[in-house]
Amino acid sequence: MNRFWHIEKSVLLDFKIGDDCTIHAPVWIGNNVLIGNRVKIQAFAFIPEGVTLEDDVFIGPHVTFLNDKLPPSTTWEPTFVRAGASIGGGSTILPGVTIGEYALIGAGSVVTKDVPAKEMWAGNPASLLRKSDYRVEQLARNFRT
* Identity at 60, one-letter amino acid code: G
**Confidence (pLDDT) at 5:** 56
Residue 137 pLDDT: 60
What structural domains and CATH numbers belong to the chain? 3-144 (2.160.10.10)
pTM: 0.86
Contact 12/30 with Cβ under 8 angstroms? no
What pLDDT sits at residue 11?
72
Render each residue's pLDDT in the chain as its tens digit; 145 residues.
666 655 555 677 788 999 999 999 889 999 899 999 999 999 999 999 999 999 999 999 999 999 988 878 778 899 999 999 999 999 999 999 999 999 999 999 999 999 999 999 999 999 998 887 655 566 556 555 5
